[in-house]
Amino acid sequence: MTEASAQAVGEGPVALTDGIHLVVDALKLNEVKTIYGVVGIPVTDLARLAQAEGIRFIGFRHESNAAHAAAAAGFLTGKPGICLTVSGPGFLNGLVGLANATTNCFPMVQISGSSERHIVDLQRGDYEELDQLAAAKNFAKAAYRIHRAEDIGRGIARALRTAAAGRPGGVYLDVPAAVLGEIIAAAKGEESLWQVTDLAPRQLPAPEAVDRAIDLLAAAHRPLIVLGKGAAYARADAQLKEFIETTGIPYVPMSMAKGLLPDDHPQSAATARSLALRRADVVMLVGARLNWLLSHGDAPTWNPDAKFIQVDIAAAELDSNQPIAAPLVGDIGSVLDALIERGKPGRITAPQDWRDELKERTDVNVAKMAERMAAAETAHPMKFLGALRSIRDVLAEHPEAYVVNEGANALDLTRNAVGMRVPRHRLDSGTWGVMGIGMGYAIAAAVETGAPVVAIEGDSAFGFSGMELETITRYRLPVTTVVLNNGGVYRGDDPSASSDPAPTYLSARHDLMIEAFGGTGYRAATPGETAAALRRAIGAGRPALVDCVIDPSDGTESGRIGHLNPKGLAGNR
């Protein structure tokens, strides 16, 4: 029970509590360890009390970054990350992170204070007036509002459950200032709280659905498994490895599924991806969606006769783009258990000629990449691949390090160049291709795991959350930011059409930025300097930034997705 002021009512003093205490008590009861947020009216005392009660409060410079951090915490822990925002604009700033979490299926709850309902709803012009619940509904998995202090326990339970169960996502929880300030009897308050049991219950697939999928895989000439970040989130690492290795089926990991099996695994077809997608006749999607990242399952990226098996917790995902010949609805761990069990003894074996075909292409592509990287080694000014070769080598000494990655070329090239060996150690722009996740994700990875974090950032991408370098240094987090600084969005040498800089041009000494906050800045102009700086920075375990000076002419418009730019009269740019 919360220690609240006592008040004489009737026979004797009655212990009291208020909305702020009840929110903190409910979060503690549900084992929330950290809140990511920005304080102000009406949530400052809430943050203070949470901290006093042993919940870590990480105070950010901008709510967007706090919300991204909560989302990453959700992905990394499997429990909803919590973001706290103030009313109106603070709430709106957080909404990008909430929407991004929902798009990526990360569990998080954005708890926001809000203004007086009787003023907001008549639009009388309150401080930070906004109909937040109505706004959030469009961008969240669900949105709820608490109207009475006695409903705080229910509201938090409902939000946590909705965020984590089934397909995870971002949930909005509106707590008006009046509710935070409402005083009720402490006993009544305590009785109103509960702990959610079995936050994300297992969901087993039907046996006939499992057999249908096994029959398809067993008859396939060129089977392929595609691992999405849902597979990483499912924490079914051992089952995945067993299923893949006993069947011999080649697999392609989506970017955040890298490391589920080590990237140099002999069955990885990551470097023969185009061939694998174009030729596969039976494709099993595991926690991966047929969205734009997989060309919606369409030819010519895919074999038009390919049959799809889809493992997903959300039945509504099936048939969203292509007919799903064998739906496997359930949690990925349970589905894999069933596939392994019912697939015995050896009902599925990937044909050797298909494995050889992919292996041959993989070997060729790996050799090509090694050549390109070696050629970049001596290039001056430094190329992306020159810096990345050094980064790759230093990270190989630290498989425990988390890698955060965003940008265009900085994203595409890092994804291919830097191998991952451990599950759930890579966080990136994800399904939306969003810029601005960098520092928020890095902070969450450091806070939740205590492991070293290396954020590999395009110079434009970094700028979206760059001020959080101060947060990183204030909390002394073991985060090293590497900025691949080619002087702009995509590249830094675009001609300008006026006396202003070109729209894509940027200019910054990021190494000096971190120095202003008390961190260590490095400037690296060669692959050797990059390796030395990164090695020292990770070894020191303190906030650092390596500004890598990259040739401004190195970089492709929009990286690998330039074809998505509208052509119009600009024609064949």
Ligand X SMILES: Cc1ncc(C[n+]2csc(CCOP(=O)(O)OP(=O)(O)O)c2C)c(N)n1
**How far apart (Å, rounded) are the C-alpha atoms in residues 278 and 550?**
34
Contact partner, 43, from Mg ion, ligand X, none, Cβ < 5-8 Å per class = none
Smallest distance from the beta carbon of 490 to ligand X, in angstroms? 5
Q: With CB cut-offs between 5 and 8 Å by kind, which of ligand X, Mg ion, none does residue 115 bind?
A: none
Among candidates 448, 464, 449, 446, which has minimal Cα distance to 544? 446
CB of 406 to Mg ion, least distance (A): 11
Residues binding Mg ion: what is the number (CB under 5 A)?
3
**Residue with smaller CB distance to Mg ion, 331 or 547:** 547
Q: Which of 225, 444, 267, 481 is nearest to 358 (CA)?
A: 267
Instruction: Find which of Mg ion, ligand X, none residue 196 binds, CB within 5 to 8 Å per kind.
Output: none
186 versus 411: smaller Cβ distance to Mg ion: 411
**Under rule CB under 5 A, residue 458 binds Mg ion:** yes
- Give the shortest CB-459-to-Mg ion separation in angstroms: 4
Binding residues for ligand X (CB under 6 A): 407-410, 433-436, 458-461, 484, 486, 489-490, 555, 559
Residue 151 binds Mg ion, judged by CB under 5 A = no
**Partner in contact with 461, chosen from Mg ion, ligand X, none, beta carbon below 5 to 8 Å by kind:** ligand X
User: In the complex with ligand X, which residue's Cβ is closer, 192 or 485?
Assistant: 485
The structure tokens listed for 117 are 């309902």
Give the pairing type, strands 12-18 and 6-9. antiparallel
* Binds 559: which of ligand X, Mg ion, none (CB < 5-8 Å by kind): ligand X
Residue 486 sits in the site that holds Mg ion (CB under 5 A) = yes
The first and second tokens of residue 567, run together, are 């052509």
Least distance to Mg ion from the beta carbon of 508, Å? 11
Maximal C-alpha separation, the chain: 86
- Residue 459 contacts Mg ion per CB under 5 A: yes
Binding partner of 112, given Mg ion, ligand X, none, CB within 5-8 angstroms per partner class: none
Contacts of 318 (CB under 8 A, 6+ apart): 310, 312, 324, 327, 329
Please give the sequence-ordered ranges of beta strands (E in DSSP) within 19-169, or none if there are none: 34-37, 56-59, 81-85, 108-114, 142-145
Distance CA 203, CA 8 (A): 51
Pairing of strands 251-253, 479-485: unpaired
**Phi then psi dihedrals of residue 410, to 5 deg:** -60, -30
CA angle 12/18/22 to nearest 5° reads 120
Least CB distance to ligand X at residue 178 (A): 34
Give min distance, CB of 245 to Mg ion, in A.
39
Give the residue with the Cβ less far from ligand X, 194 or 292. Answer: 292
Which segments of 60-214 are extended strands (E)?
Answer: 81-85, 108-114, 142-145, 170-176, 183-185
Residue 63 near Mg ion by CB under 5 A: no
Helix (H/G/I), strand (E/B), else coil: 288: coil
433 touches which of ligand X, Mg ion, none (CB within 5 to 8 A by kind)? ligand X
Residues counted in the chain: 573
Q: How far apart are CA 340 and CA 331, in angstroms?
A: 14
- Interface characters, 71-110, with Mg ion (x: CB under 5 A): ----------------------------------------
Give the range of 196-204, 428-436, 439-447, 453-461 binding Mg ion by CB under 5 A.
453-461
- In 437-519, at which residue ranges do the beta strands (DSSP E only) sit? 453-458, 479-485
The site partner of 373 among ligand X, Mg ion, none (C-beta below 5 to 8 Å per kind) is: none
Residue number, 458 or 543, with CB nearest to ligand X: 458
Chain contacts with Mg ion (rule: CB under 5 A): 458-459, 486
